[in-house]
Structure 1
Amino acid sequence: MKKLVLQVATFLSALSCFGSVNATEMRTPLVPLPSISDFTNGDGWGVGIGLGVEYETAYEGSDEFEFEIDPAGGVQWRTGEHLFFWAGEAIGWRTLAKDVWLFQASVGYEEGREEGDSEDGRLDGLGESSSGVTLLLEVRHVLAEDWRYFLDGRVLTGEIGTLGIFGAGTCLGCQPNGTGWEVGAVVTFHDGKLANRDFGVNTRQSIDSGLPETDVDSGYRSTGFNVNYRNYLNESWQIFGEALYEIYGSDVSDSPISRNDYEAEIGVGFTYVF
């Protein structure tokens, strides 16, 4: 995994040198953060279409890894400091307040885990975990000029339970057009419903799977580290990359569903911006 991350980072750095010569400097995103895409060029409609390839754990707590191809981009409409977007299975709104606060609200769909997600049969007898509509509320606060340092807080809640995420990040070499590197660290907490959806084993599941019955308490879930990258290869083509490493707390890693005490993923992709 570490070797793969290094190879992708080297590849992205090489493209960064190429992109710095050919990239447009005209685009003016809502905030200059690589993790917050803005295809609108300051106002009106913006559309981006692309694909990304991820190498990631097969499910929460898995020791199996797999490649997955996902669509990238989205449809956006911006007026002033307000941006409305549709991306994947989420639709939402972002706004910038006083140049130092970024607020976001979005509605999405969270898919559940299936027994077939484990090719080694580690999930046999557990059935399918719940899926449902979720509401994401997020706020970011800038601590230095050009969003060089910022604090981040998110709450994801819905039929599947509630997840709280609190963190901080830094933007390295970020440009006004929203390109550069972003590095962050977060701490996550979950309620009992979400904890047992992902890592609990009820009586019926215990009988069917042979795993010990397990009830996971609400509270601390994990500590994570993430890297985001975005760059223009020319006026329309973007390359992006991301990597995540999440270390579980003892209550989660002690679950019989957890075959590893961490989750990891790395991805790279391209987007064509109209």
Structure 2
Amino acid sequence: MKKFIGLLLSVFLPSFFMQSAFAQDQETALVPLPSVQDFTKGQDGWGVGLGLSLEYETAYEGSDEFGFEVGPAGAVQWRRGDDVFYWAGEALGWRGLRSDTWLFDAAVAFDEGREEADSDEGHLDGLGDQDESAEVVLQARRAFDADWRHWLVGRVVTGGDGTLGLFGVGRRFGEQMDGSGSEVNLVAVFHDSEYANRGFGITPAQSAASGLAETRLSGGLRSVGIDYNYRHYINENWQIFGEALFEYYSSEVRDSPIARSNYETEVGIGFIYVF
């Protein structure tokens, strides 16, 4: 999950909502990053933000089919000092700020899996359905300065179907410390053979049923990518956010018959009401 709508939002929306923008200079987010939701308004206790998002994205990993999807957005959070516990969609987790420049995040989340019906063109016929599975997501960001202008990021996703790792660098734009503004991340993504073959491998049985060539991946570099996040406070309660993502697959992934496109992309926009 993704770029160009977010870029346009960053140009046009601030001026559009200039007259109704809520001055949140006195509020400090856990970290001032648009991608890190903080509905606590800088205070200990509960923070709740609920809304909807509209995404235009590929139908499944490697797909050349695209479609729109509407889904819930926001989270229920409880903050105490530099620690926030949260429930966001299908993820339950904790994040904490340490020494002003370290942000740690740990969560249990769910992968939606994949169904043959995800392809309207029948490109997944014979491959069978993949069940939803639980995953553990561990992430750390190390800022180069206390105002989080630049940082390094690392993330590990692991569960019953292998392990994926992400490493990258980020840059924040704007002077706000309340979590509004925009940011961009450049990343490299790696996966082990189990994770790689769940998404792009084809077993002998699947090959016989689908007519696609048997394929087994060895793991390693999965992709390189860029993602952009934007968040704007319309007033004290309403937020608008956008995200744009582009992921370009490695040569091994591109050689899989499942990867009918060399890349994956997503663009999303949404609104959140903060209680």
TM-score normalised according to structure 2 size: 0.95
- Structure 1 residues 258 and 103, CA gap change in structure 2 (3 angstroms): same
1:272 aligns to 2:273 (yes or no): yes
Q: How does 1:1-274 map to 2 (within 5 A)?
A: 6=4, 9-21=7-19, 22-25=21-24, 26-42=26-42, 43-274=44-275
Amino acid at match of 1:37: Q
Amino acid at match of 1:23: F
Once residues 146 and 102 of structure 2 are traced to their aligned partners in structure 1, the CA distance between those partners, rounded to angstroms, is 12
Query: Contact (CA 8 Å) 2:55, 2:69: kept in 1 or not?
Result: yes
Structure 1, 123-132 or 100-109: larger mean CA deviation:
123-132
Deviation at 1:12, TM superposition (A): 4.3
Once residues 130 and 192 of structure 2 are traced to their aligned partners in structure 1, the CA distance between those partners, rounded to angstroms, is 16
Amino acid at match of 1:16: P
Cα deviations by residue, 1:252-272 (Å, 9 ceiling, x for unpaired): 000000001100000000000
Q: Secondary structure at the match of 1:196?
A: helix
Amino acid at match of 1:39: F
Query: Contact (CA 8 Å) 2:187, 2:225: kept in 1 or not?
Result: yes
Cα deviations by residue, 1:101-128 (Å, 9 ceiling, x for unpaired): 0001000111111000000000000001
Percent of residue pairs bearing the same amino acid type: 55
Query: Contact (CA 8 Å) 2:3, 2:243: kept in 1 or not?
Result: no
Q: Secondary structure at the match of 2:108?
A: strand
CA RMSD of aligned residues (A): 1.4
Greater length-normalized contact order (CA 8 Å, ≥ 6 residues apart): 2
Q: Tell me the number of residue pairs that the alignment of Structure 1 and Structure 2 aligns.
A: 271
Once residues 11 and 163 of structure 1 are traced to their aligned partners in structure 2, the CA distance between those partners, rounded to angstroms, is 31
Q: Secondary structure at the match of 1:156?
A: strand
Query: Contact (CA 8 Å) 1:54, 1:265: kept in 2 or not?
Result: yes
Query: Contact (CA 8 Å) 1:131, 1:160: kept in 2 or not?
Result: no
Query: Contact (CA 8 Å) 2:135, 2:157: kept in 1 or not?
Result: yes
Once residues 6 and 185 of structure 2 are traced to their aligned partners in structure 1, the CA distance between those partners, rounded to angstroms, is 18
- Structure 1 residues 127 and 61, CA gap change in structure 2 (3 angstroms): same
TM-score normalised according to structure 1 size: 0.96
- Structure 1 residues 196 and 94, CA gap change in structure 2 (3 angstroms): same
Query: Contact (CA 8 Å) 1:29, 1:38: kept in 2 or not?
Result: yes
Once residues 209 and 174 of structure 1 are traced to their aligned partners in structure 2, the CA distance between those partners, rounded to angstroms, is 53
Amino acid at match of 1:101: W
Query: Contact (CA 8 Å) 1:174, 1:181: kept in 2 or not?
Result: no
Once residues 185 and 6 of structure 2 are traced to their aligned partners in structure 1, the CA distance between those partners, rounded to angstroms, is 18
Once residues 18 and 28 of structure 2 are traced to their aligned partners in structure 1, the CA distance between those partners, rounded to angstroms, is 16
Deviation at 1:129, TM superposition (A): 2.2
Q: Secondary structure at the match of 2:147?
A: helix
Query: Contact (CA 8 Å) 1:212, 1:256: kept in 2 or not?
Result: yes
Amino acid at match of 2:205: R
Deviation at 1:29, TM superposition (A): 1.1
Once residues 273 and 195 of structure 1 are traced to their aligned partners in structure 2, the CA distance between those partners, rounded to angstroms, is 38
Once residues 104 and 249 of structure 1 are traced to their aligned partners in structure 2, the CA distance between those partners, rounded to angstroms, is 27
Query: Contact (CA 8 Å) 1:227, 1:243: kept in 2 or not?
Result: yes
Query: Contact (CA 8 Å) 1:101, 1:140: kept in 2 or not?
Result: yes
Structure 1, unaligned runs of 5 or more: none
Amino acid at match of 1:92: G
Once residues 28 and 186 of structure 2 are traced to their aligned partners in structure 1, the CA distance between those partners, rounded to angstroms, is 26
Query: Contact (CA 8 Å) 1:168, 1:185: kept in 2 or not?
Result: yes
Once residues 166 and 45 of structure 1 are traced to their aligned partners in structure 2, the CA distance between those partners, rounded to angstroms, is 32
Q: Secondary structure at the match of 2:78?
A: strand
Query: Contact (CA 8 Å) 2:6, 2:244: kept in 1 or not?
Result: no
Structure 1, 22-31 or 64-73: larger mean CA deviation:
22-31
Cα deviations by residue, 1:237-260 (Å, 9 ceiling, x for unpaired): 000000000000000000000001
